[in-house]
Amino acid sequence: MNSRTILKLRRKFIVVAMLTYFLVMVFMGACINVSNSVVSTNQIRRVLDYILAGDGMISYRIRDDRGDQDPASPEHSLSSSAPDSEISAASSGSEASEGESDLSGKTILEEFSPEFHNSARYFTAAFNEDGEVTDLRTTHISELTPEEAVSLAETAYHMNMRYGRIGYYCFKRGTISTGQTMVVLLNCLSQIRSNARVLTITLFFAAAGLLITFILVYIFSSRVIQPEIQNIRRQKQFITNASHELKTPLAVIRANTEIVEMINGESEWTQSTMRQVDRLDGLVQNLVMISRAAEREDRSVMTKIDVSKHVEESVNPYRSLAQQEKKELVAEIQSGVRMIADESKIRQLTTLLVDNAFKYCDEGGTIRVTLESIRKGRTVKLVVSNSYSEGANVDYSRFFERFYREDESHNVDKGGYGIGLSIAESICQQYSGSINVSWRNGEIFFTCLLN
């Protein structure tokens, strides 16, 4: 595992952790603000219902453990808190509203305290059948002129909504005891500002928490991914050690088999043994190659090479093979493509992809190698394609897995070990690039981008 891979793993962990925290904060913030908004809206609607139940005038009773008290009694005189006209005029409405109750069991009159009656800022307007204002009451509001109050009331009346909002005024439309239509408009500026404060506080603490979480995750991310880094390093070390350990028994088997052939001559069994020894020896070499491919090279010691030249020299040896297998090899190589790289890696990448294309190309098919410079010369694009008529339903997402074969039986008739594309992917990653596979119109494409 190189430093770039470790950095990529660390970034992925940070992104996942921050995304998780962000989603949790969004959920919690939404729950808090939606709940606060619902509670505030319900409270406003209860106030509007309460006022409309009194035909636009506030009325209430004070209750204690001894039962209902007469508002006119000396102990609970209301003359100082509400006009006599409103109290007497609302008596019929209060009788109707006493029986109404919410889910908590409280009646509407029991829910609001005497202080509420003095603090509520509202006005009402009654309309006749022609939609004209016949009665306007603004005794509980001083911020509007009668003309402004009539204008707002008429706007609410013509909206044909039971509940609604105009600016920071919430309203309810209903029918009162006289048969007229009444609109009650309540100043809800304090509730609106309260909701805005809750939203602002939620966003502030969520942003602060996001920043603090990022700092902590960034600090501890290296420790969190350390076990994974150690595990990958142990795997790499195991591959290297196992490769060296396997070389000795393979050499012994090869030597013993050769001695047997010298004494008894070649046989079907000794030839089979030698073929398997050769295969195991190739596999060991490829395992070492995989281990080394994961190491990022120091680009400061690389030189600017002619990629076009090295790709063309890597493709040319396959032209005789194409004639032998009656396949067509087409090379479309742009001249003068250059980049800072190791020429051996470019040759290895090209050879791996062309060799793979020959192995899986259809009979009499075409292998095409294309090289060009893109993105104003900052990126080298290498595309190797071949005819592959049966590629419509193939799982291409697994092509770069080590030892993966599309044929689940792992048939080795075509040679190879199923790790060539994995090595090609490692080479592309060394140059901050990528390799992708796609299929269209009976042809499979391997596209490499090198930076």
Q: What is the pLDDT of residues 317-348, one digit of tens each?
A: 999 999 999 999 999 999 999 999 888 889 98
Per-residue pLDDT at 81 exceeds 60:
no
Mean pLDDT, residues 368-392: 90
Looking at residue 107, what is its pLDDT?
44
Mean pLDDT, residues 115-132: 83
Ranges 91-95, 118-122, 285-289: which has the least confidence: 91-95
Looking at residue 192, what is its pLDDT?
92
Cβ-Cβ contacts under 8 Å for 151 (sequence gap 6 or more): none
CA dihedral sign, ordered 343, 348, 353, 359: positive
According to CATH, where is 3.30.450.70 located in the chain?
120-187
Per-residue pLDDT at 64 exceeds 50:
no
278 and 312 in contact (C-beta within 8 Å)? Answer: no
pTM of the model: 0.52
Looking at residue 429, what is its pLDDT?
83
Looking at residue 58, what is its pLDDT?
67
Q: What is the pLDDT of residues 12-24, one digit of tens each?
A: 889 999 999 999 9
- The fold adopted by the segment(s) 120-187 is Beta-Lactamase (3.30.450)
Question: What CATH number was assigned to the domain covering residues 301-450?
Answer: 3.30.565.10
Per-residue pLDDT at 449 exceeds 90:
yes
Cβ-Cβ contacts under 8 Å for 143 (sequence gap 6 or more): 121, 187
Ranges 1-10, 21-30, 154-163, 280-289: which has the least confidence: 1-10
Looking at residue 318, what is its pLDDT?
92
Looking at residue 298, what is its pLDDT?
54
Q: Which of 87-91, 254-258, 400-404 has the highest mean pLDDT?
A: 254-258
Q: What is the pLDDT of residues 192-226, one digit of tens each?
A: 999 999 999 999 999 999 999 999 998 888 787 77
Distances (CA, A) of 366 to 10, 309, 393, 417: 43, 22, 20, 23
Mean pLDDT, residues 369-375: 92
Q: For residue 54, give the nearest of 190, 148, 172 by alpha carbon.
A: 172
Mean pLDDT, residues 50-64: 68
Q: Which residue has the higher pLDDT, 392 or 30?
A: 30
Looking at residue 199, what is its pLDDT?
94
Looking at residue 397, what is its pLDDT?
77
Looking at residue 1, what is its pLDDT?
54
Q: Which residue has the higher pLDDT, 19 or 84?
A: 19
Per-residue pLDDT at 70 exceeds 70:
no
According to CATH, where is 3.30.565.10 located in the chain?
301-450
Mean pLDDT, residues 280-306: 71
User: What's the order of all strands across the beta sheet hosting 443-450?
Assistant: 328-333, 366-374, 379-387, 443-450, 434-440
